[in-house]
Structure 1
Amino acid sequence: MKTAFTLFRIAYGAWFLFWGLAPFLGIKPPATTQPDAVALLEANRAAFPMQLASASFIVGGAALIWKRTAPLGVAILAPTVVWIFLFHVTLTADYPWAAFWLVGLIILGFRMRKAYRPLVTWKD
Protein backbone atom coordinates (compact mmCIF):
# COMPACT_ATOMS: atom_id res chain seq x y z
CA MET A 1 0.00 0.00 0.00
CA LYS A 2 2.88 2.34 0.79
CA THR A 3 4.35 1.80 -2.68
CA ALA A 4 0.98 2.44 -4.34
CA PHE A 5 0.59 5.70 -2.41
CA THR A 6 4.14 6.77 -3.33
CA LEU A 7 3.49 6.04 -7.01
CA PHE A 8 0.19 7.95 -6.85
CA ARG A 9 1.88 10.94 -5.17
CA ILE A 10 4.65 11.04 -7.78
CA ALA A 11 2.22 10.63 -10.71
CA TYR A 12 -0.11 13.31 -9.31
CA GLY A 13 2.82 15.70 -8.88
CA ALA A 14 4.28 14.87 -12.30
CA TRP A 15 0.93 15.56 -13.97
CA PHE A 16 0.76 19.04 -12.47
CA LEU A 17 4.44 19.70 -13.15
CA PHE A 18 3.93 18.71 -16.80
CA TRP A 19 0.89 20.97 -17.27
CA GLY A 20 2.66 23.81 -15.49
CA LEU A 21 5.56 23.55 -17.94
CA ALA A 22 3.34 22.89 -20.98
CA PRO A 23 2.85 26.57 -21.96
CA PHE A 24 6.63 27.01 -22.07
CA LEU A 25 6.96 23.89 -24.23
CA GLY A 26 4.21 24.97 -26.65
CA ILE A 27 1.83 22.18 -25.59
CA LYS A 28 -1.83 23.16 -25.47
CA PRO A 29 -4.36 21.51 -23.16
CA PRO A 30 -7.24 19.54 -24.70
CA ALA A 31 -9.90 21.83 -26.15
CA THR A 32 -13.36 22.09 -24.68
CA THR A 33 -16.50 22.75 -26.72
CA GLN A 34 -18.73 24.37 -24.10
CA PRO A 35 -18.96 28.10 -24.93
CA ASP A 36 -18.95 29.26 -21.28
CA ALA A 37 -15.88 27.15 -20.50
CA VAL A 38 -14.07 28.44 -23.58
CA ALA A 39 -14.87 32.05 -22.63
CA LEU A 40 -13.58 31.57 -19.08
CA LEU A 41 -10.39 29.86 -20.24
CA GLU A 42 -9.68 32.57 -22.81
CA ALA A 43 -10.22 35.29 -20.21
CA ASN A 44 -7.88 33.51 -17.79
CA ARG A 45 -5.22 32.97 -20.46
CA ALA A 46 -5.29 36.66 -21.37
CA ALA A 47 -4.94 37.79 -17.75
CA PHE A 48 -2.99 36.86 -14.66
CA PRO A 49 -4.88 33.78 -13.30
CA MET A 50 -3.46 31.30 -15.82
CA GLN A 51 0.14 32.37 -15.12
CA LEU A 52 -0.54 32.00 -11.40
CA ALA A 53 -2.03 28.55 -11.99
CA SER A 54 1.01 27.54 -14.05
CA ALA A 55 3.34 28.73 -11.29
CA SER A 56 1.39 26.80 -8.65
CA PHE A 57 1.41 23.70 -10.91
CA ILE A 58 5.18 23.86 -11.30
CA VAL A 59 6.00 24.53 -7.65
CA GLY A 60 3.29 22.28 -6.18
CA GLY A 61 3.89 19.44 -8.63
CA ALA A 62 7.64 19.50 -8.05
CA ALA A 63 7.11 19.61 -4.28
CA LEU A 64 4.80 16.57 -4.45
CA ILE A 65 7.41 14.48 -6.22
CA TRP A 66 9.78 14.60 -3.23
CA LYS A 67 8.47 13.07 -0.01
CA ARG A 68 9.96 15.73 2.27
CA THR A 69 8.14 18.60 0.53
CA ALA A 70 4.98 16.71 -0.46
CA PRO A 71 2.77 18.31 2.25
CA LEU A 72 3.80 21.74 0.96
CA GLY A 73 2.91 20.62 -2.55
CA VAL A 74 -0.58 19.62 -1.43
CA ALA A 75 -1.06 22.99 0.27
CA ILE A 76 0.13 24.87 -2.84
CA LEU A 77 -2.05 22.86 -5.23
CA ALA A 78 -5.20 22.88 -3.08
CA PRO A 79 -6.71 26.21 -4.27
CA THR A 80 -6.05 25.40 -7.93
CA VAL A 81 -7.46 21.88 -7.63
CA VAL A 82 -10.63 23.29 -6.05
CA TRP A 83 -10.85 25.72 -8.99
CA ILE A 84 -10.40 22.82 -11.44
CA PHE A 85 -13.10 20.86 -9.62
CA LEU A 86 -15.58 23.75 -9.73
CA PHE A 87 -14.74 24.50 -13.37
CA HIS A 88 -15.46 20.95 -14.49
CA VAL A 89 -18.56 20.53 -12.34
CA THR A 90 -20.20 23.81 -13.31
CA LEU A 91 -19.02 24.46 -16.88
CA THR A 92 -18.05 21.19 -18.56
CA ALA A 93 -20.23 18.74 -16.57
CA ASP A 94 -17.28 16.32 -16.52
CA TYR A 95 -18.03 14.98 -13.05
CA PRO A 96 -15.67 11.96 -13.01
CA TRP A 97 -12.68 14.09 -14.09
CA ALA A 98 -13.50 16.76 -11.51
CA ALA A 99 -14.01 14.21 -8.74
CA PHE A 100 -10.76 12.39 -9.54
CA TRP A 101 -8.61 15.49 -8.97
CA LEU A 102 -10.41 16.60 -5.82
CA VAL A 103 -10.55 13.11 -4.28
CA GLY A 104 -6.88 12.59 -5.17
CA LEU A 105 -5.92 15.78 -3.37
CA ILE A 106 -8.05 14.83 -0.34
CA ILE A 107 -6.39 11.40 -0.20
CA LEU A 108 -2.93 12.98 -0.36
CA GLY A 109 -3.81 15.55 2.29
CA PHE A 110 -5.36 12.96 4.59
CA ARG A 111 -2.39 10.65 4.22
CA MET A 112 -0.06 13.52 5.18
CA ARG A 113 -2.26 14.93 7.94
CA LYS A 114 0.46 14.67 10.60
CA ALA A 115 2.50 17.25 8.71
CA TYR A 116 -0.34 19.79 9.08
CA ARG A 117 -0.88 19.26 12.80
CA PRO A 118 1.50 22.08 13.87
CA LEU A 119 -0.61 24.53 11.86
CA VAL A 120 -3.63 23.97 14.10
CA THR A 121 -1.97 23.15 17.43
CA TRP A 122 -1.45 25.90 19.98
CA LYS A 123 1.37 25.60 22.51
CA ASP A 124 2.50 28.26 24.95
Structure 2
Amino acid sequence: MKNPLAAVAVASTPACAPGLRPCLYDRSTKQIERRRHEEEQASAPFRPPPALRAGEGKSSLPPLAGEAVAKRLKGALLQIDESNQAQELLSADRISMVSSMTHLAVAARLIFALYYFGVGALGLILGDWAKDIANAATPFERALSETGFMDPLLCLACLAGGGALFIRRTAPLGIVVLAPLVIIIFFFHLVITHDWLWGSLNLAWLIALAWYFRRGFDSLWHFQGPQQ
Protein backbone atom coordinates (compact mmCIF):
# COMPACT_ATOMS: atom_id res chain seq x y z
CA MET A 1 0.00 0.00 0.00
CA LYS A 2 1.35 3.38 -0.90
CA ASN A 3 2.07 6.09 1.64
CA PRO A 4 -0.67 8.81 1.48
CA LEU A 5 1.75 11.61 2.51
CA ALA A 6 4.05 10.82 -0.39
CA ALA A 7 1.11 10.88 -2.74
CA VAL A 8 0.05 14.35 -1.48
CA ALA A 9 3.61 15.69 -1.86
CA VAL A 10 3.88 14.42 -5.40
CA ALA A 11 0.50 15.85 -6.28
CA SER A 12 1.37 19.32 -4.89
CA THR A 13 4.75 19.47 -6.71
CA PRO A 14 4.68 21.79 -9.80
CA ALA A 15 5.28 20.18 -13.09
CA CYS A 16 8.77 21.35 -14.07
CA ALA A 17 10.17 18.05 -15.25
CA PRO A 18 9.29 14.43 -15.05
CA GLY A 19 10.12 13.54 -11.49
CA LEU A 20 10.82 15.59 -8.30
CA ARG A 21 14.65 15.63 -8.20
CA PRO A 22 15.23 17.70 -11.42
CA CYS A 23 12.88 20.44 -10.15
CA LEU A 24 14.63 20.65 -6.75
CA TYR A 25 18.03 20.77 -8.48
CA ASP A 26 16.91 23.71 -10.68
CA ARG A 27 15.70 25.67 -7.62
CA SER A 28 18.91 25.14 -5.66
CA THR A 29 20.99 26.17 -8.69
CA LYS A 30 19.03 29.38 -9.12
CA GLN A 31 19.40 30.24 -5.42
CA ILE A 32 23.17 29.70 -5.58
CA GLU A 33 23.47 31.88 -8.68
CA ARG A 34 21.34 34.62 -7.06
CA ARG A 35 23.48 34.62 -3.92
CA ARG A 36 26.67 34.71 -5.99
CA HIS A 37 25.33 37.65 -7.98
CA GLU A 38 24.42 39.54 -4.78
CA GLU A 39 27.88 38.90 -3.30
CA GLU A 40 29.54 40.16 -6.49
CA GLN A 41 27.46 43.34 -6.42
CA ALA A 42 28.24 43.91 -2.75
CA SER A 43 31.99 43.46 -3.18
CA ALA A 44 32.25 45.51 -6.40
CA PRO A 45 33.21 49.24 -6.04
CA PHE A 46 30.53 51.84 -6.51
CA ARG A 47 30.30 53.17 -10.00
CA PRO A 48 27.96 56.02 -10.91
CA PRO A 49 25.52 55.59 -13.70
CA PRO A 50 26.87 56.14 -17.22
CA ALA A 51 24.97 59.40 -17.59
CA LEU A 52 26.56 60.88 -14.47
CA ARG A 53 29.99 59.56 -15.42
CA ALA A 54 29.77 61.26 -18.77
CA GLY A 55 28.57 64.51 -17.18
CA GLU A 56 25.19 64.24 -18.87
CA GLY A 57 23.15 63.84 -15.71
CA LYS A 58 20.84 66.58 -14.60
CA SER A 59 21.07 68.19 -11.15
CA SER A 60 18.29 67.56 -8.70
CA LEU A 61 18.17 71.30 -7.93
CA PRO A 62 16.20 73.73 -10.08
CA PRO A 63 18.33 75.88 -12.46
CA LEU A 64 17.82 79.07 -10.42
CA ALA A 65 18.70 77.36 -7.14
CA GLY A 66 21.83 75.87 -8.71
CA GLU A 67 22.95 79.28 -9.97
CA ALA A 68 22.36 80.83 -6.55
CA VAL A 69 24.45 78.15 -4.86
CA ALA A 70 27.21 78.62 -7.42
CA LYS A 71 27.19 82.40 -6.85
CA ARG A 72 27.38 81.94 -3.09
CA LEU A 73 30.27 79.53 -3.42
CA LYS A 74 32.07 81.91 -5.76
CA GLY A 75 31.50 84.82 -3.36
CA ALA A 76 32.78 82.79 -0.42
CA LEU A 77 35.91 81.82 -2.37
CA LEU A 78 36.48 85.45 -3.33
CA GLN A 79 36.14 86.55 0.31
CA ILE A 80 38.62 83.89 1.41
CA ASP A 81 41.04 84.97 -1.31
CA GLU A 82 40.69 88.65 -0.33
CA SER A 83 41.22 87.87 3.37
CA ASN A 84 44.34 85.85 2.54
CA GLN A 85 45.69 88.70 0.42
CA ALA A 86 44.96 91.18 3.23
CA GLN A 87 46.78 88.99 5.74
CA GLU A 88 49.75 88.70 3.41
CA LEU A 89 49.85 92.49 3.02
CA LEU A 90 49.66 93.00 6.77
CA SER A 91 52.42 90.48 7.32
CA ALA A 92 54.58 92.20 4.71
CA ASP A 93 53.90 95.61 6.30
CA ARG A 94 54.78 94.29 9.74
CA ILE A 95 57.98 92.72 8.46
CA SER A 96 59.00 95.93 6.70
CA MET A 97 58.14 97.99 9.81
CA VAL A 98 60.13 95.70 12.08
CA SER A 99 63.02 95.78 9.65
CA SER A 100 62.95 99.59 9.52
CA MET A 101 62.84 99.84 13.31
CA THR A 102 65.75 97.41 13.57
CA HIS A 103 67.88 99.40 11.14
CA LEU A 104 66.99 102.65 12.93
CA ALA A 105 67.91 101.18 16.32
CA VAL A 106 71.23 99.87 14.99
CA ALA A 107 72.08 103.27 13.52
CA ALA A 108 71.15 105.10 16.74
CA ARG A 109 73.19 102.70 18.85
CA LEU A 110 76.29 102.95 16.67
CA ILE A 111 76.17 106.77 16.46
CA PHE A 112 75.77 107.13 20.24
CA ALA A 113 78.53 104.58 20.85
CA LEU A 114 80.90 106.23 18.38
CA TYR A 115 80.43 109.67 19.94
CA TYR A 116 81.14 108.63 23.53
CA PHE A 117 83.89 106.20 22.57
CA GLY A 118 85.59 108.95 20.55
CA VAL A 119 85.29 111.48 23.41
CA GLY A 120 86.80 109.01 25.88
CA ALA A 121 89.60 107.93 23.53
CA LEU A 122 90.58 111.51 22.62
CA GLY A 123 90.53 112.60 26.24
CA LEU A 124 92.83 109.77 27.34
CA ILE A 125 95.17 110.13 24.34
CA LEU A 126 95.56 113.89 24.54
CA GLY A 127 95.48 114.10 28.35
CA ASP A 128 95.62 117.91 28.35
CA TRP A 129 94.03 118.33 31.76
CA ALA A 130 95.63 121.76 32.32
CA LYS A 131 93.86 123.08 29.22
CA ASP A 132 90.56 121.81 30.59
CA ILE A 133 91.19 123.71 33.82
CA ALA A 134 92.05 126.88 31.91
CA ASN A 135 89.00 126.61 29.65
CA ALA A 136 86.58 125.83 32.46
CA ALA A 137 83.46 127.93 32.04
CA THR A 138 82.39 127.86 35.71
CA PRO A 139 84.10 127.48 39.08
CA PHE A 140 82.37 124.13 39.52
CA GLU A 141 83.83 122.78 36.28
CA ARG A 142 87.26 124.14 37.23
CA ALA A 143 87.04 122.49 40.63
CA LEU A 144 86.22 119.14 39.04
CA SER A 145 89.17 119.42 36.65
CA GLU A 146 91.54 120.44 39.43
CA THR A 147 90.91 117.21 41.33
CA GLY A 148 93.15 115.43 38.82
CA PHE A 149 91.06 112.26 38.65
CA MET A 150 87.62 113.42 37.56
CA ASP A 151 88.50 114.07 33.92
CA PRO A 152 90.33 110.72 33.43
CA LEU A 153 87.47 108.94 35.19
CA LEU A 154 84.92 110.56 32.88
CA CYS A 155 87.00 109.61 29.87
CA LEU A 156 87.23 106.00 31.04
CA ALA A 157 83.45 105.89 31.54
CA CYS A 158 82.88 107.26 28.02
CA LEU A 159 85.38 104.78 26.57
CA ALA A 160 83.92 101.74 28.37
CA GLY A 161 80.26 102.66 27.78
CA GLY A 162 80.79 103.51 24.11
CA GLY A 163 82.81 100.36 23.52
CA ALA A 164 80.09 98.21 25.11
CA LEU A 165 77.43 99.88 22.95
CA PHE A 166 79.25 98.87 19.78
CA ILE A 167 78.31 95.22 20.41
CA ARG A 168 74.62 94.37 20.60
CA ARG A 169 75.18 91.66 23.21
CA THR A 170 76.77 94.14 25.65
CA ALA A 171 74.60 97.14 24.72
CA PRO A 172 72.62 97.05 28.01
CA LEU A 173 75.92 97.17 29.94
CA GLY A 174 77.02 100.22 27.95
CA ILE A 175 73.71 101.94 28.71
CA VAL A 176 74.14 101.27 32.44
CA VAL A 177 77.71 102.62 32.39
CA LEU A 178 76.77 105.77 30.47
CA ALA A 179 73.54 106.51 32.37
CA PRO A 180 75.13 108.40 35.33
CA LEU A 181 77.36 110.37 32.98
CA VAL A 182 74.49 111.36 30.69
CA ILE A 183 72.36 112.42 33.66
CA ILE A 184 75.21 114.60 34.94
CA ILE A 185 75.61 116.15 31.48
CA PHE A 186 71.87 116.83 31.31
CA PHE A 187 71.71 118.68 34.65
CA PHE A 188 75.05 120.41 34.02
CA HIS A 189 73.78 121.96 30.79
CA LEU A 190 70.32 122.57 32.20
CA VAL A 191 71.39 124.34 35.40
CA ILE A 192 74.87 125.76 34.73
CA THR A 193 75.34 126.42 31.01
CA HIS A 194 71.59 126.67 30.24
CA ASP A 195 72.18 124.72 27.04
CA TRP A 196 69.15 122.54 27.62
CA LEU A 197 68.98 121.34 23.99
CA TRP A 198 72.28 119.41 24.07
CA GLY A 199 71.62 117.92 27.51
CA SER A 200 68.05 116.93 26.61
CA LEU A 201 69.18 115.36 23.34
CA ASN A 202 71.72 113.15 25.13
CA LEU A 203 69.20 112.09 27.76
CA ALA A 204 66.39 111.38 25.26
CA TRP A 205 68.77 109.37 23.09
CA LEU A 206 69.87 107.25 26.03
CA ILE A 207 66.27 106.69 27.19
CA ALA A 208 65.27 105.52 23.69
CA LEU A 209 68.15 103.03 23.64
CA ALA A 210 67.29 101.86 27.16
CA TRP A 211 63.67 101.25 26.10
CA TYR A 212 64.75 99.31 23.03
CA PHE A 213 67.06 97.07 25.11
CA ARG A 214 64.70 96.92 28.12
CA ARG A 215 64.65 93.09 28.09
CA GLY A 216 68.35 93.13 28.88
CA PHE A 217 67.67 94.72 32.28
CA ASP A 218 65.21 92.09 33.54
CA SER A 219 67.89 90.24 35.49
CA LEU A 220 68.70 93.41 37.45
CA TRP A 221 65.38 93.29 39.34
CA HIS A 222 64.34 89.68 38.63
CA PHE A 223 67.41 87.79 39.75
CA GLN A 224 66.78 84.02 39.75
CA GLY A 225 70.05 82.67 41.09
CA PRO A 226 70.45 80.00 43.82
CA GLN A 227 68.92 81.00 47.14
CA GLN A 228 71.33 81.25 50.02
Note whether the superposition's TM-score is higher than 0.5: yes
1:5 to 105, 116, 122: 105
Query: Using the alignment, how far apart are the partners of 1:26 and 1:52 within structure 2?
Result: 14
Query: Using the alignment, how far apart are the partners of 1:27 and 1:8 within structure 2?
Result: 28
Query: Using the alignment, how far apart are the partners of 2:157 and 2:103 within structure 1?
Result: 26
Opposite residue 212 of structure 2, the aligned amino acid is R
Based on CA coordinates, which of the two structures has the bigger radius of gyration? 2
Q: Which has the higher contact order (CA 8 A, sep 6+)?
A: 1
Which residue does 1:24 correspond to in 2? Answer: 124
Offset of residue 50 of structure 1: 1.7
How many correspondences in the alignment? 118
Work out whether residues 124 and 155 of structure 2, in 8 Å CA contact, stay in contact via their aligned partners in 1.
no
Residues 72-111 of structure 1: pairs in structure 2 closer than 5 A: 72-111=173-212
Listed as ranges, the gaps of 5+ residues in structure 1 are none
2:216 paired with 1:115: yes
Which residue does 2:115 correspond to in 1? Answer: 15
1:53 to 141, 154, 160: 154
Q: TM-score, normalised by structure 2?
A: 0.48
Q: Among all aligned residue pairs of Structure 1 and Structure 2, give the percentage whose two residues are the same amino acid.
A: 29
Q: Secondary structure at the match of 1:67?
A: coil
Query: Using the alignment, how far apart are the partners of 1:110 and 1:4 within structure 2?
Result: 14
Query: Using the alignment, how far apart are the partners of 2:153 and 2:124 within structure 1?
Result: 14
Q: TM-score, normalised by structure 1?
A: 0.86
Offset of residue 45 of structure 1: 1.9
Give the structure with the larger helix fraction: 1
Offset of residue 119 of structure 1: 1.1
Which residue does 1:69 correspond to in 2? Answer: 170
RMSD of aligned residue pairs (Cα, Å): 2.0
Work out whether residues 45 and 51 of structure 1, in 8 Å CA contact, stay in contact via their aligned partners in 2.
no
